[in-house]
Structure 1
Amino acid sequence: MSHLPIPLSVVYAGLAGTVLSLLVATATNKWSPRVFFLLTLRLAIGWHFAFEGLHKIHSISTGPTETNRPFSSEPYFKVAPGPLGEKMRKEFSDPGHEIATKVKASEDIAPAEFKKLSVEDQAAKCPAAVVKLIDAVQKEPEKEKKKADEIEAKETAEAPNDEAKSRAKAKADAARAAAAKKAEMFESEAGKTLFRAAKATYARWVYGVDARECKVKSISGEVPLTGPQRIEHLEWVRRLAKSAEARETDGLGNGYGIDSKRVAEFRMDALTAETELARDANAFIAELKKDLNGGSAVEEPTELSNGQWLDRYTMWFIFLVGVCLMAGLFTRLACVLAAGFLVMTYLAHPAFPWYPLPPNTEGNPVFINKNVIEALALLALACYPTGRWLGLDALVLRPFCKYKGEAPVA
């Protein structure tokens, strides 16, 4: 339990208390085997959910270290072939949209013809999404002024004497002066020329005039490729993946997993190629923005994606559902919610014979996997008042219904 902020002695004490409570509840219900095994099943699933959620919460709060990897469901959904797989991938990032708006040319112009255009005309052909990002560099001087004001206010408040306050003001004045000089340069004709040149440079890559070094699987070193060549390579990898999937669909069962593994590798290659192309395009834009900003990297806003927010909601949901199952609080509702979560997980990676096996899958499931079995167990538990046999439901639901106990099984 070194991966959780809970002493092992506390875990042992909780386990012992759970077992004791289970025995007392069974005795109260006349040693009914049905009560014992249903409660045991509920507590086991609740224990699993609670500690799984707690581990995810702890990994996020600790952050990335040498021994800790923060929880993220993105790798799971990255290769998910099910109905929810593609939707969930887009919640984290949408490289397909990035490629369509930043890499694909809006007009059909041959590289040789595009090369003959003037810098102004080439800049005008730069993708609109990229133009917006490059033009945003003009707002950097205003951000630098605001940052200088904030630093001055903070250092002035913490200054022990007038001399320290003067140093803080002088430092802020210098930063504001530099920002004003940069803003003046951006508005000058020379600055406008630099921005046009940056847009034209990116447009030449998009329209196949200039190449950039990139990594390609199975080729050592870096390969110079233009934007259209990168897209052509991506389409080729996608065709390989679709062809492999079509061949596997004709069979039934995963066998020894050789075909499924090969299909999963093709699909992963396609997703990786797509992700890398979007990443390289953004890296190119970042380089151009850095050059325009006088060699200083432009800070991008660090906002959590929808998928990252869903990860946070999910880990707390798993933990709270597990706690409710353990405590017997709103037990039937918790069972239904947990079963629904498992169904959604199944829809991301269905155990269909024509789909590759999910990562870390044990055995060779065909249609039915552990998520289905656990969901059915939870729905079965929802049919019984286990929260009143052992749990807070006995107190919460007492004003609404009367329970006489469980009759022994003959």
Structure 2
Amino acid sequence: MTLPIPIQVLYAGLVGVLIALIVATAQQNWKPKVFFLLALRLAIGWQFLFEGLHKIQSHYIGATETNRPFSSEPYFKEAPGPLAPMMRAMNGDASKIIPAKLTPKKEISAADFAKLTTEEQAALCPDDVAKELDGLLGTAEKTIHDNAEKALADLPKLQEAKLKKIAETEKKETEAAKDAAAKENAKKKADGDRKIAENDAAETKAEEEKRLSSGKEIASQSILAAKAAFARWTYGEDRREVKMARISGDPVLMTGPQRLHYLGLLKHEKQEAEARQSEGLGGGYGLDIKKAQTSRADYWNEEAALVKDIDSFVTELKTKINDGKAPEASTEKTPLQRNDWLTRWFLAAVGAFILFGFLTRISCVAAAGFLLLTYLTHPPFPWFTLPPGTEGNPLFINKNAVEFFALLALACMPTGRWLGLDALIGYIFCGKSKAVVVKREVVPVKA
């Protein structure tokens, strides 16, 4: 699904806006300040509206080779402003997730860790991961119980199918036999296969009945083994495959501590590049800007990859605990998804209100508040890095700050009464006496 807006409609809308601007200015005695204030309001409303519609459309189209749905994650990921910690926490701060799930509970070498029992290894599993795995006990017990019941219910049918196949094979071999000895061999072979099938069925029944009665104990042992497996990776005993961005070829095997060490090297490299960029009022010199951008991208990508690999490993362990059934993905929107939904619809709504002059003053203040939050999240201070996609080299004042003050200036003027739905609403409910007209100022001259 898309939001198609024919280009003809856009042109017609733009022409209509220009005509309305001219008519409104004429009604206000051709005052230049009326023209430019209205032009400023219409321009800001138009920009907000179509920025919001573009973000909405990107989500309706979905992820394709030529489209990437809007996400605020890159903007907030390394934001240095005073509101940044709150936004990162809301959107899932990787810098907090990684230490919480991959930091050893105590200093111990991989060799000494390998000597511990499974119970001792499981006890050293990071608390956040252990809590996730422990929370699966009830679900895993039910899954084991349901699977055992299903296996027992299906066992007679499976046994019948096996015996039928054995009988068919026996019949074919008997018909193909050329003498009595061959027929006897076919019968003996079929009888042996039947006995094996009966023994297998009995073993399967006993095993499933045991699983049916001991589901909780089996689930507990699976959780213990899963926590020990994650701990072995955390403490450097086991390795897992990982595809490194800077290493071509096949995936390499790395332990948890090695992944943390590599991430630390990228962070140090990023900090050095940003320190060089901060010289010269944040612009850097020569290739410093490019180097800082590349270093930030490498660090962010590795950080995101590590979080993804941790979650993937935990999901594998949960699947084993849950008797081979993958845990159901949560249908609840994440804080990041809720924030992105609110952002794109807010931009479209407030842009439409400002453009069409509905609740104009309130809409201008709301839009200014949004820009203030954006500014405080990623302020253009010379000692901070520039956000992704920044044009030029803003110093303290960027486009968000300029538009912020412009919106507050518009909120102080009755532009909605000059042109917009506010004028229509005022005329209907207040009459002509409330119409706003900019009067010519007459300055008395003393004799």
Relative to the length of structure 2, the TM-score reads 0.75
Match of 1:195 in 2: 223
Name the CA shift for 1:347/1:404 in 2 (closer, same or farther; >3 Å).
closer
Structure 1 residue 12 corresponds to structure 2 residue 11: yes
Match of 1:71 in 2: 70
Whether the 8 Å contact between 1:34 and 1:409 is mirrored in structure 2 is: no
Match of 1:302 in 2: 331
Q: Could you tell me which amino acid in structure 1 is paired with residue 254 of structure 2?
A: L
Structure 1 residue 322 corresponds to structure 2 residue 356: no
Stretches of structure 2 that go unaligned for 5 or more consecutive residues are: 147-204, 443-447
User: How far apart are the structure 1 equivalents of 2:399 and 2:27?
Assistant: 32
Match of 2:47 in 1: 48
Q: Secondary structure at 1:262's aligned position in 2?
A: helix
Q: Secondary structure at 1:213's aligned position in 2?
A: strand
Match of 1:215 in 2: 243
Structure 1 residue 206 corresponds to structure 2 residue 234: yes
Match of 2:298 in 1: 269
Name the CA shift for 1:249/1:365 in 2 (closer, same or farther; >3 Å).
closer
Q: Could you tell me which amino acid in structure 2 is paired with residue 332 of structure 1?
A: R
User: How far apart are the structure 1 equivalents of 2:210 and 2:354?
Assistant: 60
Q: Could you tell me which amino acid in structure 2 is paired with residue 407 of structure 1?
A: K
Q: Could you tell me which amino acid in structure 2 is paired with residue 45 of structure 1?
A: I
Match of 2:437 in 1: 405
Residues 156-202 of structure 1 show CA distances to partners (whole Å, capped at 9, x for unaligned) of xxxxxxxxxxxxxxxxxxxxx9xx97973762655544332222111
Name the CA shift for 1:83/1:28 in 2 (closer, same or farther; >3 Å).
same
Match of 2:178 in 1: none
Residues 312-336 of structure 1 show CA distances to partners (whole Å, capped at 9, x for unaligned) of 1111111111111111112122112
Name the CA shift for 1:188/1:248 in 2 (closer, same or farther; >3 Å).
closer
Whether the 8 Å contact between 2:84 and 2:378 is mirrored in structure 1 is: yes
User: How far apart are the structure 2 equivalents of 1:56 and 1:362?
Assistant: 20
Larger-gyration structure (1/2): 2
Residues 223-250 of structure 1 show CA distances to partners (whole Å, capped at 9, x for unaligned) of 3222222222222322333333334445
Residues 92-123 of structure 1 show CA distances to partners (whole Å, capped at 9, x for unaligned) of 22223322222111122222221111112212
Whether the 8 Å contact between 1:76 and 1:359 is mirrored in structure 2 is: yes
Q: Secondary structure at 2:393's aligned position in 1?
A: coil
Residues 24-46 of structure 1 show CA distances to partners (whole Å, capped at 9, x for unaligned) of 21111112122112111111111
Q: How far 1:367 sits from its partner (Å)?
A: 2.5
Match runs of 1:119-138 below 5 Å: 119-138=118-137
Q: How far 1:255 sits from its partner (Å)?
A: 5.0
Q: Could you tell me which amino acid in structure 2 is paired with residue 405 of structure 1?
A: V
Match runs of 1:222-301 below 5 Å: 222-254=251-283, 258-301=287-330
Residues 291-315 of structure 1 show CA distances to partners (whole Å, capped at 9, x for unaligned) of 3334332223132221221111111
Whether the 8 Å contact between 1:216 and 1:223 is mirrored in structure 2 is: yes
User: How far apart are the structure 2 equivalents of 1:48 and 1:143?
Assistant: 53
Q: Could you tell me which amino acid in structure 2 is paired with residue 223 of structure 1?
A: V
Name the CA shift for 1:318/1:276 in 2 (closer, same or farther; >3 Å).
same
Name the CA shift for 1:311/1:404 in 2 (closer, same or farther; >3 Å).
closer
Q: 2:415 aligns with which of 352, 370, 386?
A: 386
Q: Secondary structure at 2:130's aligned position in 1?
A: helix
Match runs of 1:59-208 below 5 Å: 59-138=58-137, 139-140=139-140, 142=142, 184=212, 187=215, 191-208=219-236
Residues 363-397 of structure 1 show CA distances to partners (whole Å, capped at 9, x for unaligned) of 33222222222222222222211111111222444
Structure 1 residue 360 corresponds to structure 2 residue 360: no
User: How far apart are the structure 2 equivalents of 1:281 and 1:134?
Assistant: 13
Match of 1:57 in 2: 56
Q: How far 1:409 sits from its partner (Å)?
A: 7.9
- Provide the alpha-carbon RMSD of the alignment: 3.1
Relative to the length of structure 1, the TM-score reads 0.81
Q: How far 1:145 sits from its partner (Å)?
A: 9.3
Q: Could you tell me which amino acid in structure 2 is paired with residue 199 of structure 1?
A: K
Q: How far 1:356 sits from its partner (Å)?
A: 3.3
Match of 1:160 in 2: none
User: How far apart are the structure 1 equivalents of 2:112 and 2:282?
Assistant: 53
User: How far apart are the structure 2 equivalents of 1:144 and 1:395?
Assistant: 67
User: How far apart are the structure 1 equivalents of 2:210 and 2:311?
Assistant: 24
Q: Secondary structure at 1:353's aligned position in 2?
A: coil
Q: Secondary structure at 2:17's aligned position in 1?
A: helix
User: How far apart are the structure 1 equivalents of 2:120 and 2:23?
Assistant: 82
Residues 64-114 of structure 1 show CA distances to partners (whole Å, capped at 9, x for unaligned) of 344442221112222433333343233222223322222111122222221
Q: Give identity over the alignment, percent.
A: 49
Name the CA shift for 1:215/1:272 in 2 (closer, same or farther; >3 Å).
same
Whether the 8 Å contact between 1:252 and 1:353 is mirrored in structure 2 is: yes
Whether the 8 Å contact between 1:264 and 1:356 is mirrored in structure 2 is: no
Match of 1:38 in 2: 37
User: How far apart are the structure 1 equivalents of 2:416 and 2:209?
Assistant: 70
Whether the 8 Å contact between 1:33 and 1:409 is mirrored in structure 2 is: no
Q: Secondary structure at 1:224's aligned position in 2?
A: strand
Whether the 8 Å contact between 1:39 and 1:386 is mirrored in structure 2 is: yes
Q: Could you tell me which amino acid in structure 2 is paired with residue 295 of structure 1?
A: G
User: How far apart are the structure 1 equivalents of 2:290 and 2:124?
Assistant: 43
